[in-house]
Each structure stands twice: as structure tokens, then as C-alpha cells.
Homo-oligomer: A and B are copies of this chain.
Amino acid sequence: MSPQPDPASASAGPLADQLFPAEPTQRSIARELYAYARPLPIISPHGHVDPALLADDEPFPDPARLLVVPDHYVTRMLLSQGIPPGELGVPTRPGVRAHPPAGDGGYATETDGRAIWRRLAANWHLFRGTPSRMWLEKTFAEVFGVTAALSPATADEIYDAIAARLAEPAYRPRALFDRFNIEVLATTESPLDDLGRHAKLAADGWGGPGGRVITTFRPDNVVDFEFDDWRDNVTTLGTITGEDTETYAGFLAALRLRRQAFIAAGATSSDHGHLTALTLDLDRREAAELYERGLRGDATVADAEAFRAHMLVEFARMSIEDGLVMQLHPGSVRNHNKWLYTNHGRDVGGDIPQATEYLHALTALLDSYGNDPRLRLVVYTLDEYTFTRELAPLAGGYAALYLGAPWWFLDSPEVLRRFREAVTETAGFYNTAGFVDDTRAFCSIPARHDVARRVDAGYLARLVAEHRLSLDEAAETIVDLAYRLPKRVFKIGESLG
């Protein structure tokens, strides 16, 4: 077995100062602050790692299938320069033979990991200045001990080195989990999931309430009439729970039961991915009528929106009962890239953000529960042009509201910095929820958290250097941001059951 790279030493040399301000006084303070944050365990309260990965603990596939094919940040950038996803091994939808963006004919999906890797290497310049580049390089160096710069000349050497590591026991998921110093990782499942992998993890001492791998309750596929197979999903929900989901009352009862099952599998939060942040508090009869129209297939687009909006308030009530922290992810227009969706389906890089309004949209929920200390609502955004106008004033004025970390297109060094510069003055640090990686890419988790810690160190160093915060306070703050706040806000380590 090859020696395992020590992340600390891999970061020595110039990369030890990566992302810190170049100005020496601030850099020196940033180093000092970062030293407090670096050894802290990782709290990953929200993300999309497949729990099977850790339940089964099988070796990872080849480097391309691990690091390129499933990473839509990477494949969408290559598509933007004319390299279709099929050439990168992205599978087509079942039954679809991929056709190129222009002209006739089809093309075969690339199956050779090395060929995919070489394509990445040949186009590596496209990623200059992007977080994808930084996450991948840090993964190469700090997870796999590979410090050569990727290029056509080094592509094979790096591929082989990573492939060799992946064959070793020390590179199995659970071993990496330990090495990554992850304290808790939350995955995300739908109410229709049988939570079997989480049961396996619990049986192995890895899961369950207060466990290392926990789940998150994400009910979009039974709440959103416009979701593929929604009608079948609510039927299945009834079957799973034994409740009569042909009625609204039964539907709510079924959701309550599934929330209990999720809590038993360690969940401390729910998550809601909606097109807008709209909330509505309909009376029981109205909500039931909407639901029935949904069941009959008579619901309009406005009905679907109203029902989703109402369910957010319903879920807030359930959260007050059972303690799950609510997360709201609005503003993603799904499958905007039609060609991509037609050929390759969902979640492959075709979503684009739209402008998001929070102030009026959240009114119904906030009117009822905005100051209620029993509710905790973490709001995310893809629209940074709401930071100072809406999000910071809301989070700095309502007890229930917290700001989630910059999300997705915004989970990058420059935006992480702008987020702090924009929201701190009105919401402070303690109405933010700490860093959330929100990733499917297990191996990138340490890199993503490290980037966030470095950016926070740089921001705090500026406050210290400008005599706006004492060094002691900054040191306490960075530990709060990296560790204590996410743990507290997401109730990590607490048993809700």
C-alpha cells in the first residue's frame, strides 16, 4: 500500500496560502485563522452523495467515472465549448440514441475512461479560474497525492496514478470518510425511498439518529404535481405508509409517518426544491380541493404552484411538531437546455437560475411562524442580487430564518467572499448556517469545505487588518462558521425522535 498523502503536507508550499489575500498583513492573519479551522471535522449537513456508496463500501470505478462523468459542472463546461456529453461518457436516457446538436446521425457514448480523461486534459484551460479546477486539483493532490499539473502530456500518468490508488483498500469510501475527517454526512432521499441503505449503515454502526451518515427528507416528488410520475408517487406513498393518499388528510398523515421514518434514520432536516419561494397558507378545504384536482389530473400550472406553496407552510407546521429543520432551495429552472434533457435527462448540467423574489413570497410562512423559535428555516439562493436587498434583512429580522451558504453556481471562492461582504453587515455571522457542500461528488467534499474555510479566513483577516474585529473574536468566529454553527443550526448530533 502506498503511503497516504497527508492533506496538510500536500498543502504545504505555495498552496498553503491558496485563496488568502496577497497583501502580507492579511495573509498572515488569514494563515493564523485558517490554522484554527483546518483540523476541524467536516459537518456536511446537506448534499447528494449516494448512501449506497458508504453502505456497500465498494471500490470506486475508474478516475473518469469517478471525477468526470457524474460531475455536471465539468460536463456542462465542455458542452459549452462544443464537446457533447456523450463523448464524455454521460449516458443517454433509457431508449434514446443520442443525436448531435446539429445535423443528423447519432453518436456512440464514450465507454473508455482513459479517452474521457484525455478529453478533459485537452480542454483543461477551459477551467482556469473556476472552482471545478480548484476542487479537482485539490482532490488530485490531497486525496490521491498527485501533484503534477493536468495536461495532455500528463493525462495518462495522472489517470494511472489515481486508478492505482482506487484499487487500494485505503481508497474505499469508508476509509476515505475517516481520512476526510467527516463527522457527519447527510444524504438526501425521497419519501418513497425505503431507507434500506441507511438501515444497513445503522446496522454497521454508521447511521441512525446521531450517526455519522444520516438522511434528509426531500418530498418534492410527492408534493409537486408537475413532477414526473407524481400521480404514481402518491399512490406508492400510500402503499408504503398504509395511509389513504387518495385524500388530502391521508396524504398529510402519510408524510408525517415518513418524516418519522426519516428521523429514525437520523434525519434532522427536510429539503424543498421549488421553482419559486412562494408560500401560501390555504385553509384546509382549499388545500384539499387543490390536491383532489391534482389527483384527477385537472390541476392547472397555477394550482400546482399554489399547492407547492401551501405545502411549505404545512411542512413548517410539521417541523414545529417533529423538529426537522426546513431547507428551501428556490430559483432553479430545471432542464432549460432542452437538447441536453432530451438526450441525457435530468441533473446533467441543463438547469439555469432565474431571478428569485423572497420578500413577498415568504410572507405567508413568516406571518405565521417567522418569529417562532421552534421553527428553523434555512433559505438558499441562486440569485446573489438578493443578498443585501432581501435575504440579509429577512435573516437579520426573523428568528426562524437562516441563510444557507451560496448554492451551486455560487459555491465558488469569489461568491463565498461576496456573500460575507454582503450579508454580514445586516445579518451578522450567526444568522448564516455554515458551509454546505451540496455535492454528489464524495471525493470533492474536503476540497469544497477547505475552500470555504480559506475564503472565510481571508474575509475575517480583512476585518481584523482593518481593525473591525479583534483577532480573538475572528478565531472564535471561524470555528463557529466551520463547525459549531452548521452543527447547531442543522441540529447535527441531536436525536429528534
Check if A204 is an interface residue, CB within 8 A of chain B.
no
Instruction: Check A26 against B18 for contact (C-beta < 8 Å).
Output: no
**Is A26 in contact with B19, judged by CB distance below 8 angstroms?**
no
A402 to chain B, nearest CB (A): 9
A81-B431, A388-B410 known; A349+B397 contact, CB < 8 A: yes
| From B26, B82, B470, contact of A22 by CB (8 A) | B26
Q: Are B371 and A340 in contact (CB under 8 A)?
A: yes
Q: Of the candidates B102, B350, B429, which one forms a contact with A372 in the assembled complex, judged by CB atoms under 8 Å apart?
A: B102
Tell me, in angstroms, the Cα distance from A80 to B366 when the chains sit together: 12
- Known contacts: A129-B425, A359-B352, A412-B425. The answer to whether A372 contacts B101 by CB under 8 A is yes
Question: Nearest B residue to A124 by beta-carbon distance?
Answer: B473
Contact (Cβ within 8 A) A370 B337:
yes
A415 within 8 A of B: yes
Contact A149 B385 (CB under 8 A): no
With CB as the reference atom, state the residue of chain B lying closest to A14.
B467
A119 interfacial by beta-carbon distance below 8 Å: no
The reply to whether the CB of A486 lies closer than 8 angstroms to some CB of chain B is no
Q: Say whether A20 contacts B463, CB under 8 Å.
A: no
In this complex, the member of A102, A425, A430 whose beta carbon has the largest number of chain B beta carbons within 10 angstroms is A425
Q: Smallest Cβ distance from A82 to chain B, in angstroms?
A: 5
A346 contacts the other chain (CB 8 A)? no
Does A383 belong to the interface (CB within 8 Å)?
yes
Residues in B neighbouring A393, C-beta threshold 8 A: 352-353, 409
Contact: B397 with A352, CB < 8 Å? yes
Closest B residue to A363 by CB, please name it: B336
Interface residues on A, range: 35 or more
Q: Which residues of B contact A340 (CB under 8 A)?
A: 371
Asked if A396 CB lies within 8 Å of chain B CBs, one says yes
B residues less than 8 Å from A339 (CB atoms): 367, 370-371
Given A101-B372, A467-B14, A125 and B397 touching (CB < 8 A)? no
Interface contact B336-A389, CB-CB below 8 Å:
no
Evaluate whether A101 and B389 lie within 8 angstroms (CB atoms) in the complex, with A22-B465, A428-B130 already known. Answer: no
Residues of B within 8 A of A430 (CB): 81, 125-126
State A399–B350 Cα separation when bound (angstroms).
Answer: 12
A290 part of interface (Cβ distance < 8 Å): no
Q: Are B21 and A466 in contact (CB under 8 A)?
A: yes
Q: Could you pull out 23 A-B pairs where Cβ atoms are within 8 angstroms?
A: A19-B468, A22-B25, A80-B398, A81-B430, A81-B431, A82-B399, A102-B320, A102-B372, A102-B374, A128-B473, A129-B428, A129-B468, A130-B428, A149-B470, A352-B359, A352-B390, A355-B357, A355-B389, A383-B389, A385-B389, A413-B468, A414-B422, A414-B425
Q: A102-B320, A130-B425, A352-B390 are in contact. List 9 more A-B contacts (CB 8 A).
A: A76-B397, A79-B371, A125-B473, A129-B463, A339-B371, A352-B393, A352-B394, A412-B425, A414-B425
Interface residues, chain A, CB within 8 Å of chain B? 14-15, 17-23, 25-26, 76-77, 79-82, 84, 101-102, 125-131, 134, 149, 320, 333, 336-340, 349-350, 352-355, 357, 359-360, 363, 366-367, 369-374, 382-385, 388-390, 392-399, 401, 409-410, 412-415, 420-422, 424-431, 462-463, 465-470, 473, 476-477
